[in-house]
A and B are shown apart, each in its own frame.
Chain A
Amino acid sequence: MTERDLVIVGGGPAGIAAAIAAHENGVRDILLLERDQYLGGILNQCIHTGFGLGYFKENLTGPEYAGRFIEKLHSLKGIEISLSSFVVNLTSDKTLTYLKPGMLSTIRAKVLIMATGCREKTREMVHIAGDRPAGVFSAGLAQKLINIEGLLPGNEVVIVGSGDIGLIMARRFLLEGAEVKAVIEIQKESRGLIRNVVQCVKDFGIPLYFRHKIAKIRGKDRVEGVDIVKVDDALNEIPGSGSKISCDTILMSVGLIPENELVEMAGVKDVNKIFGREACRAIFKVAKLWKIEN
Chain B
Amino acid sequence: MKTYDVVIIGAGVVGAAIGRELSQYKLNIAILEKDQEHGFGVSKSNSGIIHPGTQNPPNSLKGRLCVQGNVLIRKISHELGVDFKETGELIVAFSREEIPRLLGLKKEAEQLGVPWLSIVDKTWLRKNEPNLSKEAVAALYAPTAGIISPYRLVYDLCENAVRNGVEIHTANPVKNILKTDRYFEINMPNDTFRSRYVINSAGLFADEISRMVGVNNFQITPRKGEEFILDKKREHITNHLLFPLPQKDTKGVLVIKTADGNPMIGPTAEDINDKNDLSTSDNGLAKVLTAAKKMIPSISESDIIAYFAGLRPVAGEDFIIRHEDKAAGFINVAGIQSPGLTAAPAIALLVRGLLGENGLTLKRKLLFHKHRKEITHLFSIPFSITQKLVKKDPSYGDIVCRCEMISHKEIRDAISRGAKTLDGIKFRTRAQAGRCHGSFCTTRLMKILAQERKLPLTRVTKRGAGSEIVKKDRLDD
Q: Are the CB atoms of B308 and A132 closer together than 8 Å?
A: yes
Give the interface segment out of B6-14, B163-171, B456-464: B456-464
Q: Assuming A100-B397, A221-B463, is B442 touching A141 (CB within 8 A)?
A: yes
Q: Assuming A102-B390, A141-B442, is B304 touching A127 (CB within 8 A)?
A: yes
Q: Are the CB atoms of B437 and A122 closer together than 8 Å?
A: yes
List A211-253 residues whose CB lies under 8 Å from chain B: 215-216, 218, 220-222, 248
Candidates B307, B383, B408, B464; contact of A221 at CB < 8 Å? B464
Q: A220 to B466, alpha carbons, bound, how many Å?
A: 9
Q: Are the CB atoms of A152 and B402 closer together than 8 Å?
A: no
Q: Are the CB atoms of A119 and B435 closer together than 8 Å?
A: yes
The answer to the question of A130 belonging to the interface, with a C-beta cut-off of 8 Å to chain B, is: yes
Q: Are the CB atoms of B390 and A153 closer together than 8 Å?
A: no
Q: Are the CB atoms of A88 and B464 closer together than 8 Å?
A: no
Q: A111 to B200, alpha carbons, bound, how many Å?
A: 64
A106: which B residues are within 8 A, CB to CB?
383
Candidates A84, A124, A152; contact of B307 at CB < 8 Å? A124
Q: Are the CB atoms of A101 and B386 closer together than 8 Å?
A: no
Of the listed residues A122, A150, A151, the one surrounded by the most CB atoms of chain B closer than 10 A to its CB is A151
How many A-B pairs fall under 8 Å by CB? 138
**Chain A's nearest CB lies how many Å from the CB of B274?**
10
Q: A133 to B394, alpha carbons, bound, how many Å?
A: 35
Chain A: which residue is nearest B283 at the CB level? A129
The answer to the question of A145 belonging to the interface, with a C-beta cut-off of 8 Å to chain B, is: yes
Q: Assuming A89-B383, A124-B306, A132-B308, is B394 touching A102 (CB within 8 A)?
A: yes
A132: which B residues are within 8 A, CB to CB?
278-280, 308
Chain A: which residue is nearest B400 at the CB level? A86
Q: Are the CB atoms of B442 and A88 closer together than 8 Å?
A: no
Q: A259 to B472, alpha carbons, bound, how many Å?
A: 32
Q: Assuming A125-B305, A222-B467, is B443 touching A145 (CB within 8 A)?
A: yes
The answer to the question of A47 belonging to the interface, with a C-beta cut-off of 8 Å to chain B, is: no
The answer to the question of A99 belonging to the interface, with a C-beta cut-off of 8 Å to chain B, is: yes
List A127-142 residues whose CB lies under 8 Å from chain B: 127, 129-135, 137-138, 140-141
Q: Are the CB atoms of A134 and B474 closer together than 8 Å?
A: no
The answer to the question of A203 belonging to the interface, with a C-beta cut-off of 8 Å to chain B, is: no
**Chain A's nearest CB lies how many Å from the CB of B290?**
15
The answer to the question of A120 belonging to the interface, with a C-beta cut-off of 8 Å to chain B, is: yes
B181: which A residues are within 8 A, CB to CB?
none
Q: Are the CB atoms of B443 and A141 closer together than 8 Å?
A: yes
Q: Are the CB atoms of A248 and B442 closer together than 8 Å?
A: no
**Chain A's nearest CB lies how many Å from the CB of B271?**
19
A134: which B residues are within 8 A, CB to CB?
461-463, 467-469
Q: Are the CB atoms of B471 and A153 closer together than 8 Å?
A: yes
**Chain A's nearest CB lies how many Å from the CB of B288?**
12
The answer to the question of A103 belonging to the interface, with a C-beta cut-off of 8 Å to chain B, is: yes
The answer to the question of A61 belonging to the interface, with a C-beta cut-off of 8 Å to chain B, is: no
The answer to the question of A148 belonging to the interface, with a C-beta cut-off of 8 Å to chain B, is: yes
Q: A203 to B259, alpha carbons, bound, how many Å?
A: 51
A104: which B residues are within 8 A, CB to CB?
383, 386-387, 390, 397
Q: A106 to B278, alpha carbons, bound, how many Å?
A: 45
The answer to the question of B470 belonging to the interface, with a C-beta cut-off of 8 Å to chain A, is: yes
Q: Are the CB atoms of B475 and A129 closer together than 8 Å?
A: no
Q: Are the CB atoms of B470 and A119 closer together than 8 Å?
A: no
Q: Are the CB atoms of A151 and B467 closer together than 8 Å?
A: no
**Chain A's nearest CB lies how many Å from the CB of B387?**
4
Q: A221 to B464, alpha carbons, bound, how many Å?
A: 8
Q: Assuming A101-B394, A104-B397, is B464 touching A151 (CB within 8 A)?
A: no
Q: Are the CB atoms of B475 and A86 closer together than 8 Å?
A: no
Q: A119 to B443, alpha carbons, bound, how many Å?
A: 15
Q: Are the CB atoms of A129 and B282 closer together than 8 Å?
A: yes
List B276-312 residues whose CB lies under 8 Å from chain A: 276, 278-282, 284-285, 301, 304-308
Q: Are the CB atoms of A129 and B285 closer together than 8 Å?
A: yes
Q: A155 to B471, alpha carbons, bound, how many Å?
A: 7
B305: which A residues are within 8 A, CB to CB?
124-125
Candidates B279, B304, B386, B473; contact of A151 at CB < 8 Å? B473
Q: Assuming A129-B280, A145-B470, A151-B472, is B398 touching A101 (CB within 8 A)?
A: yes
A24: which B residues are within 8 A, CB to CB?
none
Of the listed residues B304, B438, B442, B471, the one surrounded by the most CB atoms of chain A closer than 10 A to its CB is B471
**Chain A's nearest CB lies how many Å from the CB of B305?**
6
The answer to the question of B71 belonging to the interface, with a C-beta cut-off of 8 Å to chain A, is: no
B436: which A residues are within 8 A, CB to CB?
119-120, 122, 138
Q: Assuming A84-B398, A134-B467, is B457 touching A151 (CB within 8 A)?
A: yes
Chain B: which residue is nearest A123 at the CB level? B437
List B322-371 residues whose CB lies under 8 Å from chain A: none
The answer to the question of B440 belonging to the interface, with a C-beta cut-off of 8 Å to chain A, is: yes
Query: Residues of B with Cβ closer than 8 Å to A?
Result: 276, 278-282, 284-285, 301, 304-308, 383, 386-387, 390-391, 394-399, 402, 405, 407-408, 435-440, 442-443, 447, 457-458, 461-475
19 A-B interface contacts by CB (under 8 A):
A86-B399, A101-B398, A102-B390, A102-B391, A104-B397, A119-B436, A120-B439, A129-B279, A129-B280, A129-B285, A138-B439, A141-B443, A149-B457, A151-B457, A151-B458, A152-B471, A153-B469, A221-B462, A221-B466
| Beyond known contacts A103-B390, A134-B468: 15 more, CB 8 A cutoff | A35-B399, A86-B402, A99-B386, A101-B395, A101-B408, A102-B390, A119-B439, A122-B437, A129-B279, A130-B279, A134-B461, A150-B473, A152-B470, A222-B467, A261-B435
Question: A-B pairs with the 10 shortest C-beta distances?
Answer: A221-B466, A102-B394, A134-B462, A150-B474, A221-B467, A86-B399, A134-B467, A152-B472, A138-B439, A151-B470
